[in-house]
Amino acid sequence: MRRKLVAGNWKMHGTLAENTALLASVVAGAQGLNCDLAVCVPFPYLAQAQLALSGTPVHLGAQNLSEHAKGAYTGEVSASMLKDFACAFVIIGHSERRSLYGETDAMVAAKFVAAQAAGLTPILCVGESLQERESGVTEAVVARQLDAVIAVAGIAAFARAVVAYEPVWAIGTGLTATPAQAQAVHAFIRARLAQHDAIVAAGVVIQYGGSMKPSNAAELLSQPDIDGGLIGGAALVADDFLAICRAA
Protein backbone atom coordinates (compact mmCIF):
# COMPACT_ATOMS: atom_id res chain seq x y z
CA MET A 1 0.00 0.00 0.00
CA ARG A 2 1.48 3.33 -1.04
CA ARG A 3 1.58 6.04 1.60
CA LYS A 4 0.72 9.52 0.35
CA LEU A 5 3.46 12.13 0.28
CA VAL A 6 2.70 15.84 0.34
CA ALA A 7 5.75 18.01 -0.31
CA GLY A 8 5.97 21.77 -0.38
CA ASN A 9 8.19 23.30 -3.04
CA TRP A 10 8.88 26.73 -1.68
CA LYS A 11 10.72 27.76 -4.88
CA MET A 12 12.59 31.06 -4.41
CA HIS A 13 10.50 32.34 -1.54
CA GLY A 14 11.10 32.99 2.13
CA THR A 15 13.09 34.97 4.64
CA LEU A 16 14.52 33.81 7.94
CA ALA A 17 11.63 35.45 9.76
CA GLU A 18 8.89 34.16 7.44
CA ASN A 19 10.35 30.66 7.49
CA THR A 20 10.44 30.56 11.28
CA ALA A 21 6.71 31.14 11.40
CA LEU A 22 5.85 28.84 8.49
CA LEU A 23 7.98 25.95 9.75
CA ALA A 24 6.55 26.25 13.27
CA SER A 25 2.99 26.18 11.93
CA VAL A 26 3.68 23.21 9.66
CA VAL A 27 5.30 21.27 12.49
CA ALA A 28 2.44 22.06 14.84
CA GLY A 29 -0.14 20.95 12.29
CA ALA A 30 1.74 17.84 11.21
CA GLN A 31 1.11 15.86 14.35
CA GLY A 32 -1.10 12.86 13.81
CA LEU A 33 -1.43 13.20 10.03
CA ASN A 34 -1.69 9.95 8.14
CA CYS A 35 0.63 10.88 5.28
CA ASP A 36 4.29 11.69 4.72
CA LEU A 37 5.22 15.36 4.68
CA ALA A 38 8.19 17.30 3.38
CA VAL A 39 9.22 20.86 2.68
CA CYS A 40 11.77 21.63 -0.04
CA VAL A 41 13.41 24.91 0.88
CA PRO A 42 15.95 27.18 -0.81
CA PHE A 43 19.59 26.19 -0.13
CA PRO A 44 20.43 29.06 2.26
CA TYR A 45 17.62 28.01 4.58
CA LEU A 46 18.53 24.33 4.87
CA ALA A 47 20.24 24.80 8.23
CA GLN A 48 17.32 26.77 9.60
CA ALA A 49 14.83 24.18 8.39
CA GLN A 50 16.96 21.27 9.60
CA LEU A 51 16.91 22.72 13.11
CA ALA A 52 13.18 23.47 13.02
CA LEU A 53 12.25 20.03 11.67
CA SER A 54 14.62 17.89 13.70
CA GLY A 55 12.68 15.33 15.71
CA THR A 56 9.41 16.14 13.89
CA PRO A 57 7.56 14.05 11.30
CA VAL A 58 8.23 16.67 8.59
CA HIS A 59 11.02 15.72 6.21
CA LEU A 60 13.42 18.18 4.66
CA GLY A 61 14.16 18.46 0.97
CA ALA A 62 16.02 20.65 -1.51
CA GLN A 63 14.96 21.87 -4.93
CA ASN A 64 17.97 21.02 -7.06
CA LEU A 65 21.50 19.65 -6.85
CA SER A 66 24.62 19.23 -8.94
CA GLU A 67 25.14 16.07 -10.93
CA HIS A 68 28.78 16.19 -9.77
CA ALA A 69 30.02 14.86 -6.45
CA LYS A 70 32.50 17.72 -5.83
CA GLY A 71 35.01 19.90 -7.56
CA ALA A 72 35.39 23.18 -9.40
CA TYR A 73 31.71 23.89 -10.06
CA THR A 74 31.21 27.43 -8.81
CA GLY A 75 27.75 28.03 -7.43
CA GLU A 76 26.71 24.39 -7.39
CA VAL A 77 25.55 22.26 -4.43
CA SER A 78 26.29 18.56 -4.18
CA ALA A 79 24.15 15.68 -2.95
CA SER A 80 26.46 15.03 0.00
CA MET A 81 26.08 18.67 1.08
CA LEU A 82 22.32 18.17 1.14
CA LYS A 83 22.82 15.02 3.21
CA ASP A 84 24.91 17.05 5.63
CA PHE A 85 21.78 19.06 6.40
CA ALA A 86 19.66 15.93 6.82
CA CYS A 87 17.77 16.30 3.56
CA ALA A 88 15.69 13.25 2.71
CA PHE A 89 14.38 14.46 -0.65
CA VAL A 90 15.54 16.54 -3.58
CA ILE A 91 13.42 17.75 -6.46
CA ILE A 92 14.97 16.85 -9.81
CA GLY A 93 14.08 18.18 -13.23
CA HIS A 94 11.39 20.65 -12.20
CA SER A 95 9.94 22.25 -15.32
CA GLU A 96 11.33 25.61 -14.22
CA ARG A 97 14.83 24.08 -14.20
CA ARG A 98 14.23 22.44 -17.56
CA SER A 99 12.77 25.50 -19.27
CA LEU A 100 14.59 28.41 -17.59
CA TYR A 101 17.98 26.81 -16.90
CA GLY A 102 18.32 24.50 -19.85
CA GLU A 103 18.31 21.21 -17.97
CA THR A 104 18.19 18.40 -20.48
CA ASP A 105 16.84 14.89 -19.97
CA ALA A 106 20.46 13.71 -19.73
CA MET A 107 21.29 16.22 -16.99
CA VAL A 108 18.15 15.29 -15.11
CA ALA A 109 19.12 11.61 -15.28
CA ALA A 110 22.63 12.40 -14.01
CA LYS A 111 21.21 14.41 -11.11
CA PHE A 112 18.83 11.57 -10.26
CA VAL A 113 21.78 9.17 -10.04
CA ALA A 114 23.85 11.64 -8.00
CA ALA A 115 21.00 12.10 -5.52
CA GLN A 116 20.54 8.38 -4.99
CA ALA A 117 24.27 7.77 -4.71
CA ALA A 118 24.23 10.02 -1.63
CA GLY A 119 21.14 8.37 -0.18
CA LEU A 120 18.66 11.09 -1.11
CA THR A 121 15.25 10.27 -2.52
CA PRO A 122 14.79 12.11 -5.82
CA ILE A 123 11.42 13.60 -6.65
CA LEU A 124 11.59 13.35 -10.43
CA CYS A 125 9.36 15.91 -12.14
CA VAL A 126 7.83 15.19 -15.52
CA GLY A 127 5.12 16.94 -17.47
CA GLU A 128 4.08 18.49 -20.74
CA SER A 129 3.67 22.11 -21.82
CA LEU A 130 0.34 23.50 -22.97
CA GLN A 131 1.47 23.35 -26.58
CA GLU A 132 2.50 19.73 -26.16
CA ARG A 133 -0.85 18.84 -24.59
CA GLU A 134 -2.74 20.61 -27.35
CA SER A 135 -0.77 18.81 -30.00
CA GLY A 136 -1.53 15.46 -28.40
CA VAL A 137 1.98 14.49 -27.38
CA THR A 138 1.55 14.47 -23.59
CA GLU A 139 2.25 10.76 -23.27
CA ALA A 140 5.20 10.91 -25.66
CA VAL A 141 6.79 13.75 -23.68
CA VAL A 142 6.29 12.09 -20.31
CA ALA A 143 7.55 8.78 -21.69
CA ARG A 144 10.68 10.44 -23.07
CA GLN A 145 11.38 12.14 -19.72
CA LEU A 146 10.92 8.87 -17.81
CA ASP A 147 12.81 6.72 -20.28
CA ALA A 148 15.86 9.01 -20.11
CA VAL A 149 16.14 8.31 -16.38
CA ILE A 150 15.33 4.61 -16.62
CA ALA A 151 18.05 4.21 -19.25
CA VAL A 152 20.71 5.68 -16.99
CA ALA A 153 19.55 4.76 -13.47
CA GLY A 154 17.75 1.48 -14.20
CA ILE A 155 14.20 0.62 -13.23
CA ALA A 156 15.20 -0.73 -9.80
CA ALA A 157 16.21 2.81 -8.84
CA PHE A 158 12.52 3.78 -8.92
CA ALA A 159 12.01 1.74 -5.75
CA ARG A 160 13.89 4.59 -4.04
CA ALA A 161 12.36 7.50 -5.93
CA VAL A 162 9.22 9.58 -6.21
CA VAL A 163 7.75 10.80 -9.50
CA ALA A 164 5.87 14.08 -9.70
CA TYR A 165 3.55 14.69 -12.65
CA GLU A 166 3.42 18.43 -13.13
CA PRO A 167 1.68 19.63 -16.27
CA VAL A 168 3.57 22.83 -17.03
CA TRP A 169 0.39 24.66 -17.97
CA ALA A 170 -1.00 24.06 -14.48
CA ILE A 171 2.00 25.38 -12.55
CA GLY A 172 1.36 28.69 -10.87
CA THR A 173 -1.46 29.46 -13.27
CA GLY A 174 -4.47 28.56 -11.16
CA LEU A 175 -5.39 26.08 -13.88
CA THR A 176 -5.48 22.58 -12.47
CA ALA A 177 -5.61 19.37 -14.42
CA THR A 178 -9.00 17.79 -13.83
CA PRO A 179 -8.83 14.72 -11.63
CA ALA A 180 -9.54 12.60 -14.71
CA GLN A 181 -6.83 14.30 -16.78
CA ALA A 182 -4.29 13.88 -14.01
CA GLN A 183 -5.30 10.29 -13.25
CA ALA A 184 -4.91 9.36 -16.92
CA VAL A 185 -1.31 10.57 -17.00
CA HIS A 186 -0.52 9.04 -13.61
CA ALA A 187 -1.81 5.70 -14.84
CA PHE A 188 0.28 6.10 -17.98
CA ILE A 189 3.41 6.79 -15.89
CA ARG A 190 2.79 3.72 -13.76
CA ALA A 191 2.16 1.58 -16.82
CA ARG A 192 5.35 2.86 -18.44
CA LEU A 193 7.35 1.84 -15.37
CA ALA A 194 5.48 -1.48 -15.23
CA GLN A 195 6.76 -2.34 -18.69
CA HIS A 196 10.12 -2.70 -16.96
CA ASP A 197 9.10 -3.94 -13.51
CA ALA A 198 5.51 -4.35 -12.34
CA ILE A 199 6.40 -4.54 -8.66
CA VAL A 200 8.46 -1.36 -8.71
CA ALA A 201 5.71 0.39 -10.65
CA ALA A 202 3.04 -0.65 -8.15
CA GLY A 203 5.08 0.74 -5.28
CA VAL A 204 6.25 4.07 -6.66
CA VAL A 205 4.66 7.20 -5.24
CA ILE A 206 3.44 9.49 -8.04
CA GLN A 207 2.59 13.00 -6.89
CA TYR A 208 0.51 15.53 -8.76
CA GLY A 209 1.70 19.13 -8.92
CA GLY A 210 0.16 22.21 -10.49
CA SER A 211 -2.15 24.62 -8.65
CA MET A 212 -3.09 22.04 -6.06
CA LYS A 213 -4.93 23.78 -3.26
CA PRO A 214 -7.34 22.95 -0.42
CA SER A 215 -10.37 23.27 -2.70
CA ASN A 216 -9.20 20.70 -5.27
CA ALA A 217 -6.85 18.48 -3.27
CA ALA A 218 -9.31 15.91 -1.96
CA GLU A 219 -10.70 15.07 -5.39
CA LEU A 220 -7.27 14.84 -7.00
CA LEU A 221 -5.91 12.78 -4.13
CA SER A 222 -8.80 10.33 -4.29
CA GLN A 223 -7.73 9.17 -7.75
CA PRO A 224 -6.26 5.67 -7.65
CA ASP A 225 -2.84 6.60 -9.06
CA ILE A 226 -2.39 9.99 -7.39
CA ASP A 227 -0.27 9.40 -4.31
CA GLY A 228 0.28 12.89 -3.04
CA GLY A 229 1.07 16.40 -4.12
CA LEU A 230 3.99 18.64 -4.91
CA ILE A 231 2.71 21.99 -3.79
CA GLY A 232 4.03 25.39 -4.87
CA GLY A 233 2.10 28.51 -3.92
CA ALA A 234 -0.18 26.84 -1.39
CA ALA A 235 2.85 25.49 0.48
CA LEU A 236 3.74 29.04 1.52
CA VAL A 237 0.53 29.36 3.52
CA ALA A 238 0.60 26.99 6.48
CA ASP A 239 -3.18 26.60 6.70
CA ASP A 240 -3.46 25.76 3.00
CA PHE A 241 -0.55 23.34 3.05
CA LEU A 242 -1.92 21.57 6.11
CA ALA A 243 -5.40 21.42 4.62
CA ILE A 244 -3.93 19.61 1.61
CA CYS A 245 -2.06 17.26 3.96
CA ARG A 246 -5.29 16.47 5.77
CA ALA A 247 -6.98 15.75 2.45
CA ALA A 248 -4.21 13.25 1.77
Judged by beta carbon, residue 46 or residue 126, the one nearer ligand 13P is 126
Q: Tell the smallest beta-carbon distance from residue 216 to ligand 13P (Å).
A: 11
Judged by beta carbon, residue 138 or residue 216, the one nearer ligand 13P is 216
- Catalog residues that contact ligand 13P under the rule CB under 6 A: 9, 94, 166, 171-172, 209-212, 230-234
The catalytic position among 59, 94, 128, 132 is 94
Convert 136-180 into a string of H (helix), E (strand) and C (coil). CCHHHHHHHHHHHHHHHHCHHHHHHCEEEECCHHHCCCCCCCCHH
The catalytic position among 67, 103, 132, 166 is 166
Annotation marks residue 166 as catalytic: yes
Judged by beta carbon, residue 197 or residue 219, the one nearer ligand 13P is 219
Judged by beta carbon, residue 41 or residue 230, the one nearer ligand 13P is 230
Q: Tell the smallest beta-carbon distance from residue 9 to ligand 13P (Å).
A: 4
β-strands 89-92, 121-126 pairing: parallel
Q: Tell the smallest beta-carbon distance from residue 173 to ligand 13P (Å).
A: 7
Q: Tell the smallest beta-carbon distance from residue 71 to ligand 13P (Å).
A: 28
| Residues designated as active site | 94, 166
